[in-house]
Amino acid sequence: TDAIGRDWQCGTLQVDFVLPERLDINYVGEDGNRHRPVMLHRAILGSLERFAGIMIENYAGRFPLWLQPVQAVVATITSDGDDYARTVLTALKEAGLRAEIDIRNEKINYKVREHSHAKVPALFVVGRREAEEGTVSVRRLGSKEQETLALNEAVARLSDEAVMPGL
């Protein structure tokens, strides 16, 4: 059942006795006689596409952190933070997180808005002060608050949160 109560059929494997008869399909068996086969129908790729659509609709594009294609973006306030931003990106990737960097020459409010619209769960904002102190300002999706943390603590917290739940 999806977010609005509809039932969807996802993966299927069906045994069909009717279509071989309708198409008049036969084969010659080991006994030399003609036999009617049984058909198997399967829908795999289409069902995966439907499943992806159901997931996107259910979460309104705001997937759990472990499922997000991009879990964090490192955004610079000015070009003074570019080198440190690369260091932060490396730390995130070494922790197994899917992260990107945004060192474009754009205002930070523009970057925050753009990455919020893209539903990136964590934005690591860095500038000269963060580079000097070895910290990051973390802004979570849906919150206007920012929390300044030591780089290793911020990476550890996000990494712990991004663990896929047990199946």
pLDDT for 28-57, tens place per residue?
Answer: 999 999 999 999 988 777 777 888 888 888
| Residues 39, 89 share a domain | no
| Residues 124, 95 share a domain | yes
| Residues 138, 114 share a domain | yes
- Quick check: is 148 in a domain? yes
* Dihedral angle computed from the Cα positions of residues 21, 23, 27 and 31, in that order, rounded to the nearest 10 degrees: 30
- Quick check: is 2 in a domain? no
| Residues 85, 146 share a domain | yes
Q: Which residue type does 154 have?
A: A
Is the separation of the CB atoms in 66 and 55 below 8 Å?
no
Structure tokens at 95: 């922790």
Residues 6+ apart with CB under 8 A from 163: 66
- Quick check: is 132 in a domain? yes
- Quick check: is 6 in a domain? no
Burial class (CB in 10 A: 0-12, 13-18, 19+), 18: exposed
| Residues 145, 75 share a domain | yes
- Quick check: is 81 in a domain? yes
| Residues 97, 28 share a domain | no
- Quick check: is 1 in a domain? no
- Quick check: is 69 in a domain? yes
Number of domains in the chain: 2
| Residues 137, 80 share a domain | yes
Output phi, psi for 72, to 5 deg: -155, 150
Coil, strand, or helix at residue 136? strand
In whole angstroms, how far apart are CA 35 and each of 16, 17, 31, 41, 107?
A: 15, 12, 10, 19, 73
Is the separation of the CB atoms in 99 and 65 below 8 Å?
no
Residues spanned by the domain of 37: 12-59
| Residues 107, 26 share a domain | no
Residue pLDDT tens, the chain, 167 long: 777 787 877 677 889 999 999 999 999 999 999 999 999 988 777 777 888 888 888 898 899 999 999 999 999 999 999 999 999 999 999 999 999 999 999 999 999 999 999 999 999 999 999 999 999 999 999 998 999 999 999 999 999 999 998 85
pTM: 0.72
User: b/e per residue, 120-153, with b = 16+ CB within 10 A?
Assistant: bbbbbbbbeebbeeebbbbbeeeeeeeeebebee
> What CATH number is given to the structural domain containing 88?
3.40.50.800
| Residues 69, 52 share a domain | no
| Residues 111, 48 share a domain | no
